[in-house]
C-alpha cells in the first residue's frame, strides 16, 4: 500500500523527495541490452542480455531502491557482461538509475526507457 502511494506521488510530478522507480530501465535501445522492469506492487523482471532476472524491489528512505529475492537463469552466453545479476540496490537521479552491488560499489547504470 505504501509503495503504491509513493509511486503514484512520483507519477503525479510532485516536488517532494520521492522518486518514481516504476517502469522500464535499460542500458541502451538494443533489444539484447541489460534492462529492468519495476512494477507497482514490488515485482521486478529483467535481463542481463542473456539471462532472465526476477525478484522484488522496494523503495527505502524515499531515494534508495532495494532489490530482494532476485533469481537469475544461468545460461552461458558468449560476449555478455552479466553485471546486472549482481544488483543489490540503486539510486535514481533524473532518468538515470545507478546500480550498486552488495558491497555498495557502482556496477552499472540504466536509463529510463519508458
CB of 35 closer than 8 Å to CB of 25: yes
Question: So where are the chain's domains?
Answer: 2-112
Task: Find, among 29, 39, 33, the residue nearest to 65 by Cα.
Answer: 39
Q: Is the pLDDT of residue 16 over 70?
A: no
Angle at CA of residue 70, ends 76 and 82, nearest 5°: 30
pLDDT band at residue 1 using 50, 70 and 90 as cut-offs: very low
Residue in the block written with cell 542500458: 27
Q: pTM for the complete prediction? A: 0.80
Q: What is the pLDDT of residues 40-95, one digit of tens each?
A: 999 999 999 999 999 999 999 878 999 999 999 988 888 888 899 999 999 999 99
Q: Is the pLDDT of residue 97 over 50?
A: yes
The verdict on domain 2-112 having CATH code 3.30.2090.10 is no
pLDDT band at residue 17 using 50, 70 and 90 as cut-offs: low
Amino acid at each position: 500500500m505504501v509503495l503504491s502511494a509513493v509511486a503514484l506521488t512520483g507519477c503525479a510530478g510532485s516536488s517532494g523527495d520521492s522518486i518514481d522507480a516504476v517502469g522500464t530501465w535499460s542500458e541502451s535501445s538494443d533489444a539484447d541490452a541489460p534492462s529492468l522492469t519495476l512494477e507497482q506492487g514490488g515485482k521486478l523482471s529483467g535481463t542481463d542480455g542473456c539471462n532472465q532476472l526476477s525478484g522484488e524491489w522496494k523503495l527505502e528512505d524515499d531515494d534508495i531502491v532495494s532489490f530482494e529475492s532476485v533469481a537469475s537463469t544461468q545460461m552461458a552466453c558468449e560476449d555478455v557482461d552479466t553485471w546486472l545479476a549482481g544488483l543489490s540496490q540503486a539510486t535514481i537521479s533524473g532518468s538515470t538509475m545507478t546500480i550498486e552491488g552488495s558491497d555498495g560499489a557502482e556496477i552499472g547504470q540504466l536509463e529510463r526507457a519508458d
